[in-house]
């Protein structure tokens, strides 16, 4: 806890430098603005609200639950042409096709997932699974991700996520496919299934758990309060979850996100995303080395206004963190599971 050391990340086959003593250093750098607390519930000028007009002129329906629509500014399109041959191996290009969708979690702009009911969160999970199955029928990779808060690049306060399906395996997916396949080959058990069992037994990095799921600050965490959400049984894809597992997932997500908000009593920013076995042509292959999981990457370090910057050494050498995963987990674990805004009421 007091001396620097490096930790190995078997999921990415890389290392992180842990320098816990550095968290004591004074901070005279940039201070972030806390997220606004006065977001209007409905705004006709907000393109994600029910009944609002989006940039392409389409009018949203008066939706009352989740709402999915094609991204008006997609990073991937299904009919992109093949790139030309550069004539040299140092200038390679490959086709990149796909579709991008946006999913609103709720019709109200002033709600976030931790403040939604369990039934509303369960509806989000069901919509995620439906999209993963629908797009995964033809595309090899379906990336569900949420950027929450302006600090994480979110340009709209309305509760929503994005779903990008691609004709290729992105870098992180390819890497996790390789490391998990190698671990199963060498040890005879899926990596993250074995890891979840170890963390459930050791408990020092455990944040929350229930009968079907556990959340830990991973041993190799890079971001200060990074967490990993894992199922207890072997499951490859989000759409494979049973009814009861979806209910318990809604519960553990709510508990985790309430703790996040309670940490600095602010709507906690993060980027999160689901990783599961590839789809499309991979549906016909044995993907038993995969274990479904979700990554949460929050940037805040010391307070609602001081964040962790991935610059300098992190960009040029390797990742580095200023408090141990065990310290982060203990702090999150000790936080109440009643949201600070609801407690105030």
SS3 58: coil
Cα 209 to chain centroid distance, Å, stands at 18
- Residue 243 annotated as binding? no
Q: Determine the average pLDDT of the residues in 55-69.
A: 96
22 marked as part of a ligand binding site: yes
User: Over pLDDT 70: what percentage of the chain?
Assistant: 96
Stated pTM of the model: 0.95
What is the rounded average pLDDT of the residues 282-287?
A: 97
Residue 334 assigned ligand-binding role: no
Q: Are the C-beta atoms of residues 339 and 13 closer than 8 Å to each other?
A: no
Q: Is 207 left (phi over 0), alpha (psi -120 to 50) or beta?
A: alpha
Distance between CA 166 and CA 143 in Å, rounded?
Answer: 8
As a whole number of angstroms, the distance between CA 74 and CA 151 comes to: 21
Predicted pLDDT of residue 25 = 62
Q: Return the pLDDT at 154.
A: 85
Q: Does 154 appear as a known binding residue? A: yes
* 319-344 residue pLDDT tens: 999 899 999 999 999 999 999 998 86
Answer yes or no: is 314 a known binding residue.
Answer: yes
Q: Which two tokens stand for residue 332?
A: 């999150």
Is 308 annotated to bind a ligand? Reply is: yes
Is pLDDT at 53 greater than 80 in this prediction?
A: yes
pLDDT in tens, 31-42: 777 777 788 999
Q: What's the pLDDT score for residue 33?
A: 74
Task: Give me the pLDDT at residue 304, please.
Answer: 85
Tell whether residue 309 is among the known ligand binding residues.
yes
CA distances from 281 to 169, 190, 270 (A): 11, 21, 32
Compute the average pLDDT of residues 242-247.
98
Phi, psi for residue 231 in degrees, rounded to 5: -80, 155
Catalytic center residues: 160
> Is 65 flagged in the annotation as binding?
no
Q: Cα dihedral angle (11, 147, 259, 6), rounded to 10 degrees?
A: 30
DSSP 8-state class, residue 300: B
- Residue 147 marked as a ligand binder: yes
Say how many CA atoms lie within 13 Å of 147 toward its Cβ.
Answer: 10
Q: Which domains does the chain have, with CATH numbers?
A: 35-83+92-342 (3.30.428.10)
């Amino acid at each position: 806890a007091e001396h620097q050391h490096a930790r190995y990340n078997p999921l990415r086959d890389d290392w992180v430098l842990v320098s816990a003593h550095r968290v004591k250093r004074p901070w005279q750098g940039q201070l972030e603005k806390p997220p606004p607390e006065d977001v209007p519930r409905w705004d006709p000028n907000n393109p994600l609200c029910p009944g609002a007009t989006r940039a392409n002129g389409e009018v949203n329906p008066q939706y009352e639950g989740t709402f999915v629509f094609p991204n008006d500014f997609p990073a991937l399109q299904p009919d992109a042409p093949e790139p030309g041959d550069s004539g040299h191996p140092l200038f390679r290009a490959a086709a990149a096709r796909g579709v991008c969708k946006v999913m609103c979690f709720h019709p109200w702009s002033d709600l976030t997932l931790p403040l939604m009911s369990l039934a509303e969160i369960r509806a989000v999970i069901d919509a995620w699974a439906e999209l993963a199955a629908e797009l995964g029928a033809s595309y090899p990779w379906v990336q569900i991700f949420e950027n929450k808060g302006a600090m994480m690049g979110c340009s709209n306060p309305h509760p929503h996520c994005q779903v990008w399906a691609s004709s290729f395996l992105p870098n992180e997916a390819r890497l996790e496919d390789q490391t998990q396949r190698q671990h199963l080959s060498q040890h005879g058990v899926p990596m993250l299934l074995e890891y979840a069992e170890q963390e459930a037994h050791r408990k020092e990095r455990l944040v929350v758990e229930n009968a079907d799921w556990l959340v830990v600050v991973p041993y190799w965490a890079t971001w200060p309060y990074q967490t990993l959400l894992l199922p207890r049984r072997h499951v490859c894809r989000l759409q494979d979850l049973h009814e009861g597992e979806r209910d318990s997932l809604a519960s553990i997500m709510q508990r985790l996100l309430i703790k996040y908000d309670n940490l600095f009593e602010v709507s906690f920013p993060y980027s999160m995303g689901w990783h599961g076995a590839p789809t499309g042509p991979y549906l016909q292959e044995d993907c038993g080395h995969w274990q479904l999981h979700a990554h949460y990457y929050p940037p805040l370090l010391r307070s609602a206004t001081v964040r962790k910057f991935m610059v300098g050494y992190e960009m040029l050498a390797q990742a580095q963190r200023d408090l141990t995963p065990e310290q982060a987990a203990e702090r999150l674990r000790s936080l109440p599971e009643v949201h600070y805004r609801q407690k105030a009421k």
